[in-house]
Structure 1
């Protein structure tokens, strides 16, 4: 009988077993590398996204501050414009000589007409037409001819040509309302007239 040499076969089986273990170990190591790399990629991507989110949040916060500053500036600009407009209105009113206006108006009244009440109304519509405002007068006259004479005088005047008489009542003593849209008298013009 022949003797069998089992050592090479055992060696061969051991070599296969070692090769298999190496393949398994290499596969496990490769799988671990893939898992670690994937985890690292995901962790890195998440960290990068957090950094981007933080940067965007900082930009949003900065923009909010800029919006608040812009709104405050717009409010300040509007307030300044309102102050400028009020200053212009006051300078226009300061330039009007109401005494001269009333003196000139009284020179147009016949002796039979008396004024019982005067009110002055300032209107933006009148200013657009080059007028300073409107005078509303409540008057009493001795006769209707005095009223007609007054209205004729007003119509001939440049400053008081736009006048309206309403509410004419009475026979012995006539009462009426007079509305006059006036151009006003500038102080500068009045000073030049005095020279």
Structure 2
């Protein structure tokens, strides 16, 4: 499952979702129906989870970057307190750690997540070798959007089966999902696509839309 296959299949799923999101935006333009908004929101969430499923920076690189950021911050704050504020070394060291942990941990976490997403998007873009998406003939905009979402679900399902090979039961899959961040992201993306499909189908059958 590791290696080039995961990003390649994810690239196709991401491309299908990106295309579906563009179609959905046009299809639901001007609609204030809550299900239309839900479909857009859940689809956006699915695309985010697909980016997470690439692994982004990777655990090792993320840990190394965290250490570098925290180490640099500790050195900078300690130097500032010691040389600028004139605090003795012991006091500077005592104050530095809580200042960094409580004052900078959350900004660093957000920075790492932003870098992680950027790396994930770049990995998807580099791996995008899927053929152009061709909708079934004679299908309208709504049917095309639903078809794209179902195709994306197919890709996500295949990826989850690959990732969870050897875990035939739902309980085993769930235990693995808690330990495997990529599988958890794939599962969340699949859930988000399912809800987006349901919301879109409800909106398409809404009386006000049928009347329009």
Whose Rg is larger? 1
Structure with the bigger percentage of strand: 1
Bigger RCO (CA 8 Å, 6+ sep): 2
The normalised TM-score by structure 2 is 0.20
